[in-house]
Amino acid sequence: SRRRHVFDVQVGYPKGKNPVPLTPQCLFPQLGVASSAVTIYARTAVEPTIAINPKNRNHMVAAWQESRIFNGGALEIGIAYSHNGGRTWHQTEVPLQICIGGINQRLSDPWLSYAPNGKRVYLNALVVNTTLDINTQNQQGIIVCVSEDHGRSWSIPHFVSSSQLVLGVPSSFPFDDKNSITADRNHSKFAYCVWDRFPQVTSFHSDTLI
């Protein structure tokens, strides 16, 4: 019965009104361990973050984990923006989920920050795969996207850190976590991303990187 619910999962918000559907053919291989049941909390919103334009408080951008998965990450990062002080909101997409043209299978830890001149907003997130993508060594890591139209559209994701770790697969590769991003309040072209890097996913300590 849990598997039947997967057919109803939808993520991403393109220019049209309807979310992009995830096909079972794309989704099933990335659910991780095939012998165990996988619970997807469809349409849930986890770890919300919001940024407000310091030059025009009518501009607001919100992000969250869309459809959290019980053993780590979510299906997508949800994005919404308002240009009238939060009275109405519009949903858009940052194509991160691989099933809708993105780069990784699971997403987590969104964080937003506006530049002090109000012309740029940064999105920071954690991405990870549960099955090996032979086309890239960026199996997990920290990415940053930028919007220059107050959340309406976003740049391609840029990795600031990555490794070959695959979620749930024992390995000696590092694992990144607990990321955040802050725009410099004095220099509009500067922003700082901070995160924890564990030498291995089973490590009991991490280094803090910027």
Q: pLDDT (tens digit, 9 = 90+) per residue, 55-96?
A: 999 999 999 999 898 888 999 999 999 999 999 999 988 889
Cβ density class 59-80: b for 16+ within 10 Å, e for less: bbbbbbbbbbbeeebbbbbbbb
What single DSSP character describes residue 146? E
Q: Are 146 and 124 in contact (CB under 8 A)?
A: no
Model confidence band, residue 33 (pLDDT cutoffs 50, 70, 90): low
Model confidence band, residue 21 (pLDDT cutoffs 50, 70, 90): low
Across 16-20, 27-31, 95-99, 182-186, least confident range:
16-20
What confidence tens digit (pLDDT) does each residue in 185-209 have?
Answer: 999 999 999 999 999 988 899 999 9
CA dihedral 103, 126, 151, 56 (to 10 degrees): -160
Cβ density class 141-161: b for 16+ within 10 Å, e for less: bbbbbebeebbeebeebeebb
- What are the beta bridge partners of residue 78? 64
Model confidence band, residue 164 (pLDDT cutoffs 50, 70, 90): very high
